[in-house]
Chain A
Amino acid sequence: MRKNRVHSFTPNPLLKVKLPAGRSRFAMFVMSCAFLALVARAFWLQVWSNDFLKREGEVRFMRTLEMPATRGGITDRNGAILAKSLPARAIFANPSDAQLEPAQVSELSKLLGMPERDLTKRLASDGKTFVYLKRQVDAPEAEKIAALKLPGIHQLPEYKRHYPDGSTIAHVVGFTNVEDAGQEGMELVHQRGLAGHTGARRVMLDRMGNIIEDVGTLREPQDGSDLQLSIDTRIQYHVFDAVRDAVNHHRATAGAAVVLDAKTGEVLALANLPTYDPNERGALSGAQLRNRVMTDTFEPGSTFKPFAISAALEAGIVKPSSMVNCSGKLTIGSASVGDAHGHGTLSVEEVLQKSSNVGTAKIALQLPPQRMWELYNSLGFGQAPEVGFPGAVAGRVRPWKTWKPIEQATMSYGHGISVSLLQLARAYTVFARDGEIIPLTFLKSEQPAVGQRVMKAETARAVRRMLELAAGPGGTAPKAQIPGFSVAGKTGTAHKIEGGRYVARYVSSFVGFAPASNPRVIIAVMIDEPSAGEHYGGTVAAPIFARIASDTMRTLRVTPDIALRAETGSGSKSGPSSGSGAGSLPGSGPGSSPSAGTALAGKTARAPARSRGNA
């Protein structure tokens, strides 16, 4: 029964044919080999050599994204923004794709703010695949352009630097180029710290383009650090305004002023005219870019006299009360030194007060040249100030061994020597700080500066007293006076040199400090080539000093140190009191006064250091 059932499954007689066993084994072998080949191939692709496929896979869903970093901002000492970067767009075109209708070109040119003709020309750049149409386009305009969806017009992200204070502080802050790299001023000096470094990360995208996973950060983005300057924009405004008004009034070619904090060595304000707007960098000229306070040197003239006199006092050669015969002319070799008005015999104090060239030269000639040179050197003349500013110049002080007597004499009253306004202002810290000179800084500093002693405190105080007299009613600069505060300072009027000869063009200057009793700020002013009739430091520069000092004292809330005069207010036992009718400050206007300044005097000497000038 069971046997019959088996037979029923093989009804076909062909199946009964016995095949050779080798054939089925062969087929089995071939199929096994094929499977093995597949397994080996799979192993090869997925385990052994999978880099290519992995890479191809990643290309389809992995992306490397840039992580933006912004350039650090610059603020003033109170946190007011002086420079900040905001995202902007660079608009570029692929000319071969950008086939625009005339109406589209017209609309685009309006949004870009460029003439249609220029735009058409750029779009017709044959053979190019990339042409910048405009860079640093503000985000709102860029969005409007993007909304037009023009073919072949694309955008790239970038940053644009904004300077809200514009031309007022341009020479300190400087500016960046379109690549966001510092080109001038603090932007250039602190490029490394201000510059941000973009980062990068790998992310996984879904088919909609959303980021679904952060695979890893390749590079951390680093924003640039913010920079806080020592500048006080409130004082800067007053200084800039005063210099601009004076340059206009005196029809001068240029003007500059700097305000230093006598306690910390911080530069509170620095203004230059002519200036420029760092937001509009299209057409800048060299004259506009020059930071005259630091990069221009000039013969300081009488503002230099206090140094020679202090050296003589320090050496014990003279005392403030010593008498010097200042009458006539002082003849040294073939050259002579003179004053515009004969002074007769003056005390050393009066020599500085009246600004006598003869007196100063006679005092200086009693000093060994080396001693004078050492003082000039210790005050920083002839060396570039270490303020980390591009282009800060050293000025010129020749080695003492080459000095001839006439040169020593002329140098004592500021001729045959060249200095920058910043050097001069810094050197006056010795008188403001009882004989110490301090380093200057453009960065905010809360700490009092550590000074270096250059002369004895009593010497510095004696010269300070003389400078107070010089800025007083009997001195060369009564217009430097301000109500409520004692001031001290010295005027300077120097001929300019052209082609090795002195010409009838002048640099009027004033360097002083206030309050004289406890100096808080040092102010140096320089007006280049005033040509409206007046050129003496006492009539041109001193009123600017007075205006700046008055505004600075108010801004810094310094308490007045002297009682007000009767006509400016009613006095009280407790000091200055309320009054009225004192709207204008004495000396705040650039008027003329015959008492101010001694005239230029002396013949031009044939010696290399010609003796001229005084005020």
Chain B
Amino acid sequence: MTRIDIVITILLVLCSLLLVESQHKNRRAYIELERAQQAEAKLQVQWNQLQLEQSRLTKTSLIAEAAARDLKMQGVVPARTLYLSEPLGAKP
């Protein structure tokens, strides 16, 4: 066996080991990715739950009831509203 054959054989073995190693790393990384995606899906569900909760808590009926009962607020009617006229020549 010539010297070049030995070098090539060693390189081949080395490449094969590196291939196995990279394959392994790839799989580990993919498992991580999967876990991250699952976590993302869970967070998405939580986000949806929170949005729904927010909608429930900000229902007009709840706010109107709380404003009238707890804060003693009253509805705005034109009779109690001060309307200001825009001065002539004013720009919006």
* A164 CB contact (under 8 Å) in B52, B77, B81: B52
The CA of A541 and the CA of B74, in the complex, are separated in Å by 24
The CA of A108 and the CA of B84, in the complex, are separated in Å by 65
For B64-82 the 0/1 string (1 means CB < 8 A from A) is: 1000000000111111111
Q: Look across to chain B and name the residue whose beta carbon is closest to the beta carbon of A240.
A: B61
Within 8 A of B (CB), among A573-602: 574-583, 585
**CB within 8 Å for A568 and B55 given contacts A211-B31, A212-B31:** no
A484 close to B (CB within 8 Å):
yes
The CA of A551 and the CA of B64, in the complex, are separated in Å by 12
* A233 CB contact (under 8 Å) in B60, B78, B80: B60
Stretch at the interface among A81-89, A390-398, A412-420, A428-436: A81-89
* A585 CB contact (under 8 Å) in B49, B77, B85: B77
How far, in Å, is B53 (CB) from chain A's closest CB?
9
- Please indicate the chain B residues that have their CB under 8 angstroms from the CB of A569 in the complex: 78-80
Within 8 A of B (CB), among A71-109: 80-81, 84, 86-87
- Please indicate the chain B residues that have their CB under 8 angstroms from the CB of A574 in the complex: 83-85
**CB within 8 Å for A568 and B52 given contacts A168-B61, A234-B60, A583-B74:** no
Within 8 A of A (CB), among B37-69: 45, 48-49, 51-52, 54-56, 58-61, 64
Q: Look across to chain B and name the residue whose beta carbon is closest to the beta carbon of A575.
A: B83
A214 close to B (CB within 8 Å):
yes
B81 touches A212 (CB 8 A): no
A483 touches B51 (CB 8 A): no
B83 touches A237 (CB 8 A): no
- Please indicate the chain B residues that have their CB under 8 angstroms from the CB of A175 in the complex: none
A51 close to B (CB within 8 Å):
no
Q: Look across to chain A and name the residue whose beta carbon is closest to the beta carbon of B57.
A: A164
A296 close to B (CB within 8 Å):
no
A162 close to B (CB within 8 Å):
yes
A212 touches B83 (CB 8 A): no
A582 touches B77 (CB 8 A): yes
The CA of A556 and the CA of B31, in the complex, are separated in Å by 53
For A217-233 the 0/1 string (1 means CB < 8 A from B) is: 00000000000000001
How far, in Å, is B24 (CB) from chain A's closest CB?
10
A213 close to B (CB within 8 Å):
yes
A560 touches B30 (CB 8 A): no
- Please indicate the chain B residues that have their CB under 8 angstroms from the CB of A139 in the complex: 45
For B15-27 the 0/1 string (1 means CB < 8 A from A) is: 0000000000011
* B82 CB contact (under 8 Å) in A168, A206, A212, A577: A577
How far, in Å, is A360 (CB) from chain B's closest CB?
34
- Please tell me the size bucket of the interface on B: 20 to 34
Q: Look across to chain B and name the residue whose beta carbon is closest to the beta carbon of A579.
A: B79
B51 touches A84 (CB 8 A): yes
The CA of A518 and the CA of B56, in the complex, are separated in Å by 35
**CB within 8 Å for A210 and B83 given contacts A164-B59, A554-B76, A560-B78:** no
Q: Look across to chain A and name the residue whose beta carbon is closest to the beta carbon of B85.
A: A574
The CA of A139 and the CA of B59, in the complex, are separated in Å by 24
B77 touches A483 (CB 8 A): yes
Within 8 A of B (CB), among A472-520: 483-485
- Please indicate the chain A residues that have their CB under 8 angstroms from the CB of B61 in the complex: 168, 237, 241
The CA of A165 and the CA of B27, in the complex, are separated in Å by 47
A559 close to B (CB within 8 Å):
yes
A81 touches B78 (CB 8 A): no
A484 touches B78 (CB 8 A): yes
A564 touches B79 (CB 8 A): yes
- Please indicate the chain A residues that have their CB under 8 angstroms from the CB of B64 in the complex: 237
Interface residues of B (CB under 8 A from A): 26-27, 30-31, 34, 45, 48-49, 51-52, 54-56, 58-61, 64, 74-85
A-B contact pairs, 9 of them (CB 8 A): A86-B49, A168-B61, A568-B79, A575-B83, A577-B83, A579-B80, A582-B77, A583-B74, A583-B77
Given contacts A86-B52, A483-B77, 14 further A-B contacts (CB under 8 A): A80-B58, A81-B55, A84-B48, A86-B45, A86-B49, A164-B59, A168-B61, A210-B31, A211-B34, A550-B77, A577-B82, A579-B79, A579-B80, A582-B79
